[in-house]
Chain A
């Protein structure tokens, strides 16, 4: 009677439910119904043992949010082994000798790894492809911010990688990851930037960047931008390039398999782990491991280290008051730590915290992780 008519009018007024399955394509994520079967067996989390678990949804792929990453099926193929065993982390080189870490999905992160997970030490993969002697091409993605404002970070990264035997190249066509555009809502404006990125880095076996935030953008946002462009060639190019982009500490620890990079830095240092490195990329304690192995260094704890510094890209300009309120607390914690140097894997956070410390005349330096790791006794 009337009541059911009302249900119908509410639900069917939105034709996405009645149209059936939209194309399974990065240009249009599949409908809910396409991936959520309704009957099933028991779910593993049931403490009382009575709960129904839906089959065909392994723990990583079940999330509706995962579609945004697009191509769930392709992803499953690539990660067939880990998907079937339920293991969320595939540690070890793949058939090409590449470590799979770079293909992990941000969207599945909070489930994959607990917040306090110290990360998996991967030192024993140090065989890597470098020692096997495979000819590999490694590119430096210095990032637009470092290129323009902090060249010393790029220089330190180059010195460090060369010292470790990596013949790093700098494709001069590179510019930016496009994150500023995407995170500010200007996705069409990010298309030329992403296009420049894939053009510059196509064909490299590894792209190393001294920025967790920019790497996260390359891995997770480029496919969104490509999907919005509707350009099949760009979608494919992004698929090819983005899995090869590594944050510096990931590249050192996971790919090169080194923790002691032979650095010397006789100072009191505290580490800001940065939100995007820890929560988007999941680098865990890799920066910490690398720093602990530096000779002469004294590491001190940063209170509330996991808390955001408040930079947030254009957030720092759109909401300057909140941004500064957050940054002041971070700066206070840095002062309380007693460190003389604040280190992080992202110069964007450091520009913000450092700018506050400088205004306060706090007498605390900020340095990028690469700069400390590049320091040696000879240079000092």
Chain B
């Protein structure tokens, strides 16, 4: 059942306060723009290197870190293998504990469920705990369209929301902003939606946090309904877990009368004891802390304590499609720690917006195409190619998601989805290369032509600037001219250097920095 929410168009979205990723161009184009932003480059370099170093320190101090990673992957694999059983078990546990369980097949259904609950309680606003699932389904946009204000209470999400901006990191959505920019946003925007920041606000982190605290406090105390996600759902007890640093989550989870949690179905862990593994893996991978400051757990309704109406919306939104992909399903192990973002050399340079999704970085490059469908747009199809396949993301992933493997798998799917019809330049090139590399003598032909071109065109041994499409290489890089004699011909002429080695051997390379 799909709801009646019309497909957003750029025009209708422009009228909203909340931004969406619609209209972001394919990665290479978006990346080019981001690369030119020196402020962004500086902010991103500083932030990612700081977290990266902290993570490396706290993970290397655990002697069993690698075993923990394996355990984390195994538990999640078990959950995925038996998801049907665990989901039913979770639902039973939740209902027994007094929670109401809703099943949402897609974003529209989930949004409608949340809006309906809010409307039933006749509220015009809700407070929100930072949550990736609600970002994925663009709940804020839907709520705003329904006339309900959504107040983000996580500091970074608040910065993004007040700045009419988009998140650029899973854990630190405002990673692309520095504190001077944050101060400016607070001064300009806070007064429009609530308690204004003090006019003499400085850009000291403590002062900025103080301004956010005062601004949010009145919203916490006023709100009747809170919306959250969850880091984990324990199937055998029906417990939901939120892991956070600021305490805003604790406020939202305890003060309002009604709590609605939208959680992806892959967030299940089988037993309470499994949390032992993940509560070690997550904070160390995410913020580089041994333990995060606030870990909140709640099991349904507790009489006279906390929210007296607890809803859990179990969200599919194509997760089962991902599950059906034998290679890609490992992405469902993801615990949203962002370790892959913080170490990624591509992400570090372009930031999160270029990925055009709530899930940026390496994990976004595999998760977004799988959740939204390969072949559905040029932007999505560009994501699996937004990686040099250096493998550092796999090295740090706390649940051992082999991101490079999935990237290559998705590239295959992208290419396959465009087969048929008139082959493009790249397809023709690849088919040609396939023929040339199908036999030694064919490659020899190519090399002869290349050697000849060197004699005629590139007598200096270096290929400088060239027109398109070679300009993609030569705009910034020299290219060595092909040698006059390939290795193959040298071997044939000299019997592998045993006879008459001649002058062609050991010629210095040119065009690669060698003078």
Interface residues of chain A, those whose CB is within 8 Å of chain B, are 3-4, 6-14, 16-17, 28-29, 31-33, 36, 38, 43-48, 50-54, 57, 59, 62-65, 67-68, 107, 110-111, 114-116, 142, 144, 146-152, 154-156, 158-159, 162, 168, 170-176, 178, 180-187, 189-190, 192-193, 195-196, 200, 221, 275-276, 279-280, 306-308, 310-328, 342, 350-359, 362-367, 379
Contacts and interface: CB of A to CB of B under 8 A. Distances in A.
Interface in B463-515: 469, 472-473, 475-480, 482-483, 485-488, 490-492, 496-497, 504-509, 511-515
Contact of B440 (A43, A173, A190): A173
B473 to A, nearest CB: 6
B345 A155 contact: no
- Interchain residue pairs A-B with the least CB separation, the first 10: A312-B388, A354-B512, A355-B477, A185-B411, A32-B81, A185-B415, A308-B390, A151-B487, A45-B67, A192-B438
28 contacts: A7-B84, A11-B84, A29-B326, A36-B78, A51-B276, A64-B329, A110-B400, A115-B395, A147-B486, A148-B450, A151-B485, A152-B483, A155-B490, A168-B496, A170-B488, A171-B440, A175-B438, A180-B433, A189-B430, A192-B434, A195-B438, A279-B390, A311-B388, A315-B385, A319-B386, A351-B479, A358-B514, A359-B478
A154 B277 contact: no
A79 to B, nearest CB: 17
Most A Cβ at <10 Å: residue of B316, B434, B477: B477
Consensus secondary structure, chain B interface: helix
B81 A33 contact: yes
A324 B87 CA distance: 47
B460 to A, nearest CB: 11
B400 A354 contact: no
B28 A51 contact: no
A321 B35 contact: yes
Contacts of A306: 392
Interface stretch (B69-77, B132-140, B239-247, B285-293): B69-77
A185 B64 CA distance: 37
A111 B408 contact: no
Most A Cβ at <10 Å: residue of B479, B482, B508: B479
Contact of B276 (A44, A47, A156, A320): A47
A241 B479 CA distance: 33
Interface of B: 27-28, 31-32, 35, 60, 64, 66-71, 73-74, 77-78, 80-84, 87-88, 91, 101, 103, 105, 265, 270-271, 273-274, 276-277, 280, 316, 320-321, 323-324, 326-327, 329-330, 345-346, 349-350, 384-392, 394-395, 397, 400-402, 405, 408, 411-416, 426-427, 430-431, 433-440, 442-443, 446-447, 450, 462, 469, 472-473, 475-480, 482-483, 485-488, 490-492, 496-497, 504-509, 511-515
Given A63-B70, A110-B400, A155-B497, A317 B509 contact: no
Contact of A154 (B273, B394, B487): B487
Contacts of B433: 180-181, 189
A200 B439 CA distance: 9
A196 B400 contact: no
Nearest to B95: A3
A148 B392 contact: no
Given A54-B78, A318-B385, A16 B84 contact: no
A29 to B, nearest CB: 5
A11 B87 contact: yes
Contacts of B509: 150, 152, 354, 366-367
Contacts of A158: 496-497
Given A32-B77, A147-B487, A148-B443, A43 B405 contact: no
B281 to A, nearest CB: 10
A175 B442 CA distance: 9
A193 B475 contact: no
A10 B316 contact: yes
B103 A355 contact: no
Contact of A189 (B320, B345, B401, B431): B431
A312 B447 contact: no
Nearest to A318: B385
B405 A68 contact: yes
A170 B513 contact: no
A45 B70 contact: yes
Given A45-B68, A312-B387, A7 B103 contact: yes
B438 A196 contact: yes
Contacts of B387: 312, 315
Given A180-B433, A354-B512, A38 B82 contact: yes
Consensus secondary structure, chain A interface: helix
A192 B435 contact: yes
Nearest to A316: B473
Contact of A52 (B88, B273, B515): B273
A47 B280 contact: yes
B451 to A, nearest CB: 9
A319 B82 contact: no
Contacts of A57: 74
Contacts of B321: 14
A308 B345 contact: yes
Contacts of A111: 66, 69-70, 400
A144 B445 CA distance: 13
A142 B487 contact: yes
Given A279-B390, A322-B346, A38 B78 contact: yes
Given A110-B69, A313-B388, A319-B346, 12 more contacts: A10-B103, A28-B326, A29-B326, A32-B81, A52-B270, A54-B78, A173-B439, A176-B437, A192-B438, A196-B440, A314-B385, A324-B477
Contacts of A51: 71, 273-274, 276-277
A355 B512 contact: yes
B345 to A, nearest CB: 5
B84 A275 contact: no
A18 B473 CA distance: 49
A29 B327 CA distance: 9
B99 to A, nearest CB: 12
Contacts of A189: 430-431, 433-434
B477 A275 contact: no
Contacts of B390: 275, 279, 308, 312
Contact of B430 (A13, A147, A150, A181): A181
Contacts of A151: 483, 485-487, 490, 504
A330 B156 CA distance: 32
Nearest to A65: B402
A68 B385 CA distance: 20
Nearest to A64: B77
A208 to B, nearest CB: 14
Given A7-B87, A33-B81, A148 B491 contact: no
Nearest to B475: A320
Given A147-B488, A192-B435, A325-B35, A359 B273 contact: no
Given A13-B320, A182-B408, A359-B478, A172 B488 contact: yes
A20 B436 CA distance: 43
A53 to B, nearest CB: 7
B477 A172 contact: no
Given A151-B485, A152-B506, A326-B388, A3 B101 contact: yes
Contacts of A187: 412, 415
Contact of A148 (B395, B446, B473): B446
Contact of A365 (B66, B77, B426, B515): B515
A322 B490 contact: no
B323 A364 contact: no
A377 to B, nearest CB: 15
Contacts of A328: 476
A72 to B, nearest CB: 13
Contact of B476 (A46, A351, A356, A362): A356
